Chains A and B, each alone.
Chain A
């Protein structure tokens, strides 16, 4: 098991389960948050543990874009890639996410295999 973990931020438990399955296949651990605020707390409590953030946009309490703004405000997080995982395909949302420091944009729906491929593209596969 890789020591690095993927932080899945989505208000849908099912989406987090799908990401969990993909992460497990690749040997990554998983951290889960149901909104941006929970994710910020996790990121502050586990510095250095996060290899990748998979982030929904539309969530209660704190949206994905609000999280991203706060997450990128901490220089310690500069090198952690963030991929938006959303149904929001409108250009304004995509541009806003990229402007705030997202590296990739994954459109829902996706299969477990597609999610595995995206994770490998962003942070590599299992350590052999």
Chain B
């Protein structure tokens, strides 16, 4: 993806990578939904640095985070530490961002990623003062039990 920044192409790349990553990593399908965003207790954040800096966010409730990390590790939810759950959401965000970056850079773009960060706090929100545009999509797991919010913020 070189030259002019293509918002729609970027959204498509990230959506496909997110869906594929969760299928491989968790063995479940995430389906886009129109339901309101679930509570965000843990957010994984990364910044894609390049022609158009982009903040990438994956937000989940504590219950969803535990369920997803349990699926990824094969460890029962009751056996997971809070630190491991947070690390799991950070790594999920890192993998989705890394794979999307590789696709974007395949066409001569030169984007880089910051290390992943985690924000924790019951029902937190992120506010961007200089926010100019954004893409936000809520997902439900195919069993209908848990939600995930994926967001791109173009700063």
How far is the CB of A21 from the nearest CB of chain B, in Å? 5
**With known contacts A12-B87, A14-B69, A90-B105, A21–B74 Cβ distance under 8 A:** yes
- The CA-CA distance from A108 to B73 in the complex, in Å, is 13
The A interface is mostly helix, strand or loop, or mixed, namely loop
- The CA-CA distance from A2 to B76 in the complex, in Å, is 25
Task: Name the interface residues of A13-43: CB closer than 8 Å to any CB of B.
Answer: 13-15, 17-18, 21
A62 within 8 A of partner (CB): no
Which one of B90-98, B129-137, B147-155 contacts A?
A: B90-98
- B74 x A108 contact (CB < 8 A): no
Count of chain B residues with a beta carbon within 8 Å of a chain A beta carbon: 24
- A13 x B98 contact (CB < 8 A): no
- A60 x B115 contact (CB < 8 A): yes
**With known contacts A14-B69, A18-B72, A109–B25 Cβ distance under 8 A:** yes
Residues of A within 8 A of B72 (CB): 14, 18
- B83 x A13 contact (CB < 8 A): yes
Residues of B within 8 A of A110 (CB): 24-25
- A13 x B84 contact (CB < 8 A): yes
The B interface is mostly helix, strand or loop, or mixed, namely helix
Interface range on chain A (Cβ under 8 Å from partner): 20 to 34
Residues of B within 8 A of A103 (CB): none
Residues of B within 8 A of A21 (CB): 73-75
How far is the CB of B146 from the nearest CB of chain A, in Å? 17
- The CA-CA distance from A112 to B115 in the complex, in Å, is 24
B33 within 8 A of partner (CB): no
- B90 x A12 contact (CB < 8 A): yes
**With known contacts A12-B90, A111-B24, A87–B102 Cβ distance under 8 A:** yes
Residues of A within 8 A of B88 (CB): 12, 14
How far is the CB of B46 from the nearest CB of chain A, in Å? 11
**With known contacts A87-B94, A87-B99, A109–B73 Cβ distance under 8 A:** no
Taken residue by residue from 101 to 123, chain A's Cβ proximity to chain B (1 for < 8 Å, 0 otherwise) reads as 00000001111101000000000
How far is the CB of A49 from the nearest CB of chain B, in Å? 25
Residues of A within 8 A of B99 (CB): 87, 89, 108
**With known contacts A12-B90, A18-B73, A21-B73, A108–B98 Cβ distance under 8 A:** yes
Provide a sorted-by-A list of 19 A–B residue pairs whose CB atoms are within 8 angstroms.
A12-B91, A13-B87, A14-B84, A14-B87, A14-B88, A15-B91, A18-B73, A21-B75, A60-B115, A87-B99, A87-B102, A88-B98, A90-B106, A108-B95, A109-B24, A110-B24, A110-B25, A111-B27, A114-B24
